[in-house]
Amino acid sequence: MKKGIPVFQIGKKGLSNDFITTIKSAFAKRENVKVTMLKSAGHNKEKTKEAAEEIINGLGKNFTYKIIGFTIVIKKWRKPKR
């Protein structure tokens, strides 16, 4: 049985280094992770994009993201980017 994609939530406290570290550890077993912006974090397209950029900067250059509504889907590249 396959497990689903891990889903993390950003709330009113926002992002922290621990949050990014937790996402990094999820990529040890997965290629995709979802991060949702809760209403308490501010349902705003700009804040969602800023959060996605901050997460990607914290993870490194082998990751990319796609924003769907207030959900950030992060993907790990199989081959390292150069």
> 8: which 2 tokens?
């993390």
Cα–Cα dist 79/81, whole Å? 6
Whether residue 36 lies inside any domain: the answer is: yes
Given a cut of 60, whether residue 80 has pLDDT beyond it is no
Given a cut of 70, whether residue 25 has pLDDT beyond it is yes
Whether residue 13 lies inside any domain: the answer is: yes
Domain of residue 66, CATH code: 3.30.110.60
The helix/strand/coil state of 75 is strand
Whether residue 16 lies inside any domain: the answer is: yes
Whether residue 82 lies inside any domain: the answer is: no
Domain count, the chain: 1
- Domain that includes residue 26, residue range: 7-76
In the block, tokens 């990607």 appear at 56
pLDDT of residue 1: 36
Whether residue 53 lies inside any domain: the answer is: yes
Average pLDDT of the segment spanning 45-60: 92
Q: Decide: pTM greater than 0.75.
A: yes
pLDDT of residue 2: 47
